[in-house]
Structures are given as structure tokens and as C-alpha cells.
């Protein structure tokens, strides 16, 4: 047993306009009681342009749903056309920001150094990064998934204080399980999550590691959520596809029932 509150975060990716975004948050809110939203933390990560609408709804109705962004700039401010800074997200009330998602690494050339800078920008602005790590299929087939994933984590958190590390959420997302319908087994998720926690214990101490939330991501749905969440080092989920369906997302929040 531990004191970590489970976190279920919905990564909407490049889906929904602001009207659809509001409708989805309303449906999620209708489907869950305040008690359910206290037992498990729910967060939504809309596209940048939907964040203001979602914020207005959540703040106006005092909904117990956190929100955040899917990415942020590696820079603080200035001549970076098209970028969105951590301070802009913080000003909108974002609690979380996804950093280093495999789609950013794959399609936008983000390397460990860029991911580390984004972690720094998140923390400088009071945002909790949801730091995504995970191996490609070839890496798993070669048996290197643990060292690869731990390496990504250690590179991204290099130079942080233990206090800063307390703000970080780690998401283990094996690339071969994202959007493929192929989920890691609960044992796969546990193996890597335990290794990530141990790496944090070795670098930052046992107290920090005991508080660290490690999420699993990769084709999570209501049908497979509970068995993965039952593993001792898995503290929640980062959910893509299933987070766009209010009923499915609500079921994920209710997984312990």
C-alpha cells in the first residue's frame, strides 16, 4: 500500500474543436461524482486552442478535473514563432503538461536534450510535467527496454533537485502499444515502472521515489485498465484514444470499483 493518488490523464492529441472539447468535459463531469473525482485524479490534455474553453468550464463550475497541455516550448519567451510557453500555460491555470511524448520524439525530432529543456521550462513555471518514456518494438525485442527507458528518464531529470522531482509524473508508454490496440501485459508495465522508481530512488532518495507517480500508457481502455492498475508500481494511466469517449474515460476513473 502507498499514499500515491492514482492519476488518469486523457491525451486528446490533435482532436476536437473547442465546442466538442466543452461537450466532452461536460459529459465526463455528468458521469462522475465528486467522491469519484476525489478518489482518483482526472486530468484532460486538450489541444492548445481548446484550453481556454476547458478552463472556463472547469473553473466556472468548480469541476474536480485538472487540465493541461500536450507540449510546451523548450524556451522561456521570445522569437519562437508558433511556440507556446510554459508561462502562458501556467497563466491559463494548467496543472500538467505532457513532455517527450513519443509522437513528439518521432515526428518532431525531440531528443533527450530538448525533453530535458521542456522539463526545466515546466518546473520554472509551476507546471507538473508528465514525462513520457518508452521503447520502440526493436528495443524490446532486443531485450533492452528497461535500460532504454531508464536512460530516457535519467537524461530528462538530470540536474533537478529532489523537490523538483516531486513535481514530476512519469508515464511509461511503450511505443509499440500506443494507438495500436496492443497493450503491454500488467507484468510488462510493472517491470518497467518498478525499474523507473528504483532509478529515482538511486538518484533522489527513497522518499522521493515513494511519492513518484508512474503511469502506464498504450491502448488503455476500461476493459484492461483495472488489471494494469492493480500492479504495485503503476499509479494511473495516460490515455489517448479512449479519453475521447466520455463514458470510457469515466469508467477508467472508476477502475477500482
Please give the residue ranges that form the binding site for ligand PEP (CB under 6 A).
Answer: 11, 173, 178-179, 217-220, 238-242
Q: Is 12 annotated to bind ligand?
A: yes
Q: Is 173 a catalytic residue?
A: yes
Q: CB of 98: closest distance to ligand PEP in angstroms?
A: 8
Min separation Cβ 111 and ligand PEP, Å: 19
- Nearer to ligand PEP among residue 179 and residue 206 (C-beta): 179
List, in order, residues 6 or more apart from 44 with CB less than 8 Å away: 9, 10, 12, 24, 25, 28, 54, 65, 66, 67, 68, 243
Whether 176 has a binding-site annotation, put simply, is no
| In the complex, least distance from residue 214 CB atom to ligand PEP, rounded to whole angstroms | 14
- Among 41, 103, 164, 173, the active-site one is 173
Strand partners, 214: 170
Q: Tell me if 179 is assigned to a ligand binding site.
A: yes
Q: How far is the CB of 3 from ligand PEP (least distance, A)?
A: 25
User: Please, which residue, 9 or 209, has the CB nearer to ligand PEP?
Assistant: 9
Is 143 known to sit in a ligand binding site? Answer: no
Residues 218, 141: Cα–Cα separation, whole Å: 17
Q: What are phi and psi of 96, to 5 degrees?
A: -125, 160
Report the residue number, 45 or 51, with the smaller CB distance to ligand PEP: 45
At its nearest, how many Å lie between ligand PEP and the CB of residue 137? 14
Q: How far from each other are the two terminal CA atoms of the chain, in whole angstroms?
A: 17
Question: Nearer Cβ to ligand PEP, position 86 or 241?
Answer: 241
Residue placing its CB nearer to ligand PEP in the complex, 183 or 208: 183
Place of cell 533537478: 160
Catalytic one among 101, 110, 145, 164? 101
Q: Rounded to an integer, what distance in angstroms lies between the CA atom of residue 12 and that of residue 111?
A: 23
Asked if 101 is an active-site residue, the reply is: yes
Candidates 173, 208, 162, 213; CA nearest to 43 is 213
Contact status, residue 86 vs residue 73, Cβ threshold 8 Å = yes
Q: Is 240 flagged in the annotation as binding?
A: yes
C-alpha dist (Å) from residue 184 to 5, 27, 145, 204, 216: 22, 29, 12, 28, 9
Three-state secondary-structure class, residue 141: helix
Q: Say which DSSP state 127 is in.
A: -
Annotated binding site: 11-13, 179, 219, 240-241
Q: Indicate which residues carry an active-site annotation.
A: 101, 173
Amino acid at each position: 500500500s502507498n499514499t500515491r493518488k492514482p492519476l488518469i490523464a486523457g491525451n486528446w492529441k490533435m482532436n476536437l474543436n473547442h465546442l466538442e472539447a466543452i461537450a466532452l468535459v461536460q459529459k465526463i463531469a455528468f458521469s462522475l461524482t465528486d467522491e469519484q473525482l476525489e478518489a482518483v485524479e482526472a486530468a484532460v490534455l486538450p489541444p492548445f486552442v481548446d484550453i481556454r474553453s476547458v478552463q472556463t468550464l472547469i473553473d466556472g463550475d468548480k469541476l474536480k478535473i485538472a487540465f493541461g497541455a500536450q507540449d510546451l516550448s523548450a524556451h522561456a519567451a521570445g522569437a519562437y514563432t508558433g511556440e507556446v510557453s510554459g508561462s502562458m500555460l501556467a497563466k491559463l491555470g494548467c496543472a500538467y503538461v505532457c513532455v517527450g511524448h513519443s509522437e513528439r520524439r518521432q515526428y518532431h525530432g525531440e531528443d533527450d536534450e530538448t525533453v530535458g529543456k521542456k522539463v526545466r521550462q515546466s518546473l520554472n513555471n509551476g507546471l507538473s510535467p508528465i514525462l513520457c518514456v518508452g521503447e520502440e518494438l526493436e528495443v524490446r525485442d532486443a531485450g533492452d527496454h528497461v535500460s532504454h527507458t531508464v536512460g530516457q528518464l535519467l537524461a530528462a531529470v538530470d540536474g533537478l533537485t529532489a523537490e523538483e522531482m516531486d513535481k514530476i509524473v512519469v508515464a511509461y508508454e511503450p511505443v509499440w502499444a500506443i494507438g495500436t490496440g496492443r497493450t503491454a501485459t500488467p507484468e510488462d508495465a510493472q517491470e518497467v515502472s518498478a525499474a523507473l522508481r528504483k532509478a529515482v530512488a538511486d538518484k533522489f532518495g527513497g522518499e522521493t521515489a515513494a511519492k513518484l507517480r508512474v503511469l502506464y500508457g498504450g491502448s488503455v481502455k476500461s476493459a484492461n485498465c483495472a488489471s494494469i492498475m492493480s500492479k504495485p508500481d503503476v499509479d494511473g494511466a495516460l490515455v489517448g484514444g479512449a479519453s475521447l469517449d466520455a463514458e470510457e474515460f469515466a469508467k477508467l476513473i472508476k477502475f477500482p470499483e
